[in-house]
Amino acid sequence: MRTIIEPFRIKMTEPIKLISRGSRKRLLKKAHYNVFLLDAESCCIDLLTDSGTGAMSTEQWAALMLGDESYAGSKSWKKFEATIKKITNMKHVLPTHQGRAAEGILAQTRVKKDDIIPNNSHFDTTRANVEFVGGQAVDMLCGEGFDIRTEAPFKGNMNINKLEKCIRENGPDKIPFCMITITNNTGGGQPVSMENIRSVKRTLKKYGIPLVIDACRFAENAYFIHEREEGYGDKSLLQIAQEIFSYADAATMSCKKDGLANIGGFLACNDDGWAVDFRNMLILREGFPTYGGLAGRDLEIISVGLMEALDYDYQVYRHATVEYLGKKLKRNNIPFVQPVGGHAVFLDARAFLPNIPELQYPGIGLVNALYIEGGVRSVELGSVMFGKFDDNGKEMPSTLELVRLAFPRRVYTQSHFDYLAEVIEKVWSKRDRISGYRITYQPKFLRHFTCHFEPIQ
Ligand SMILES: Cc1ncc(COP(=O)(O)O)c(C=O)c1O
């Protein structure tokens, strides 16, 4: 059959509503033109994030009832630990309430002032955690990753030459670990090849530098490897994931993505010394090592979700939904990052709105236009999110100005995507009328979440 179907049927529904255009305008103004500050019920299609927004399966709801809420050594913890060990084969597993808690523990225990942490592209929370303790978060994405029109298969790859140069120039002592993010969320949700992960590991090994995988979308990345990399077509997604983790010394994970859970995360590692430091910090910040920041029922849900994310049919459907929107945009020559990522379509705001100067935030212009046009909530990944300043405090534009339409897992159906395509096409047809924005308030860290804007008339 040509038609790829959702590999599930719907047992429970949640109403969504499109409020009037006037209300959308009024509420956006009240939210200081920052969609993070809107109430969820005023958004019709909410694509702000794929993080923690998925629908649970019947198996997960059933598992929830098995939650053992004992403080220490619960049955749910045993399952959680066993599942993560099965996938990662790592010696130590530490549950955290979400990904950034794992990143925080990693940064606070391993990064010193002026240390350098290379990554293909740091996610905003990863960068913030490294910088918070005085480290430098350095991105080393491969060349194709910056070319948003090239149809290369693994645009999330790390630039090995840059990595090697960085190690030679700064010395391995300045680099307590190197990270690689799979898939590369900030660079368009693009995958990293097994060959690249292997090469990164080979390079680091020469200098004794550990590799930490930011594994949030490890199952989506495994699917891309299965489909695109020679030698992996006959392997299961679990086998591919196991090989990925075999090259890592540690991993941080937000189970809100490929854990198919609404909350949760973990930190895993092989080194006994690291584990002692992590555990001490975990107890201080999150909770006892057998529950971390989670309830027993969450541990159960994640144990099921991690394995469901590795189900091949689920990944076929998931990728088909993202590609479906991509094809519609391509037909209308609407600029977006190609090929589409694993969890999202990234519109190219710079090409969409060439009249808006970079520091008047074309991404925010586009995000707000999508909300006003059709109640669609998206997110800017550009000069606001990655706000960079030179040594004199002058703001610098981001390399890419993207708007991410992130797809919650197992939530929206094909007609929702048809509607979404229609909204984007409408905004595209009126693009000359969209204005830029200026920032009127911003906090010190992670400014995009809470900053205020006003339109430049
Ligand atoms: C690549 C990546 N790393 C880390 C995180 C942080 O995870 P969390 O939101 O659970 O703290 C995210 C969240 O979106 C992410 O996409």
* DSSP assignment string, 46-83: E-S-SSS-PPPPHHHHHHHTT----SSS-HHHHHHHHH
What are residue 416's phi and psi, to 5 degrees?
-65, -40
| pLDDT attached to residue 388 | 82
Taking every pair of Cα atoms in the chain, the longest distance, rounded to a whole number of angstroms, is: 61
Q: How far is the CA of 126 from the centre of ligand 1 (A)?
A: 8
Say if ligand 1 is within 6 A of residue 303 CB: no
The count of other CB atoms within 10 Å of the CB of residue 392 is 5
Q: Burial-class residue 72 by CB neighbours within 10 Å (0-12, 13-18, 19+).
A: exposed
Give the confidence band of 444 by pLDDT, cuts at 50, 70, 90. Answer: confident
Atom number, ligand 1, closest to the C-alpha of residue 217: 1
Question: How far is the C-alpha of 16 from the C-alpha of 407, rounded, in Å?
Answer: 16
Summarize pLDDT for 116-141 with one digit per residue, the tens: 999 999 998 999 999 999 999 999 99
* Measured CA distances, 171 to 55, 112, 133, 167, 174 (Å): 46, 14, 20, 5, 6
Mean pLDDT along residues 258-285: 98
Helix (H/G/I), strand (E/B), else coil: 8: coil
DSSP state of 442: -
Q: How far is the CA of 392 from the centre of ligand 1 (A)?
A: 30
| pLDDT attached to residue 400 | 85
Query: DSSP alpha helices (H): ranges in 256-361?
Result: 272-285, 296-309, 312-331, 349-352
Summarize pLDDT for 76-114 with one digit per residue, the tens: 999 999 999 999 999 999 999 999 999 999 999 999 999
The count of other CB atoms within 10 Å of the CB of residue 445 is 14
Q: How far is the CA of 99 from the centre of ligand 1 (A)?
A: 5
Minimal-distance CA residue to ligand 1 atom 2: 123
DSSP state of 161: H
Summarize pLDDT for 371-389 with one digit per residue, the tens: 999 999 999 999 999 878 8
For the chain, give the mean pLDDT. 96
Give the confidence band of 70 by pLDDT, cuts at 50, 70, 90. Answer: very high
| pLDDT attached to residue 446 | 82
Mean pLDDT along residues 149-156: 92
Q: What amino acid occupies position 412?
A: Y
Minimal-distance CA residue to ligand 1 atom 16: 185
Query: In sequence order, what E strands does 133-289 have?
Result: 136-139, 178-181, 211-214, 250-254, 265-269
Minimal-distance CA residue to ligand 1 atom 7: 99
Q: How far is the CA of 89 from the centre of ligand 1 (A)?
A: 22
pLDDT over threshold 90, residue 410:
yes
* ω into 339 cis (within 30 of 0): yes
Q: How far is the CA of 128 from the centre of ligand 1 (A)?
A: 12
Atom number, ligand 1, closest to the C-alpha of residue 186: 1
Ligand 1 pocket test target in 123, 179, 213, 445 with most atoms within 8 Å of CB: 123
| pLDDT attached to residue 126 | 95
Say if ligand 1 is within 6 A of residue 184 CB: no
| CB 183 within 8 Å of CB 220 | yes
Which secondary-structure segment (H or E) carries 344?
A: strand 344-348
Q: How far is the CA of 295 from the centre of ligand 1 (A)?
A: 20
Q: How far is the CA of 246 from the centre of ligand 1 (A)?
A: 22
Q: Provide the percentage of residues in the chain whose pLDDT is more than 90.
A: 92
Would the pTM of this model clear 0.85, i.e. be above it? yes
| pLDDT attached to residue 434 | 96
Mean pLDDT along residues 401-413: 95
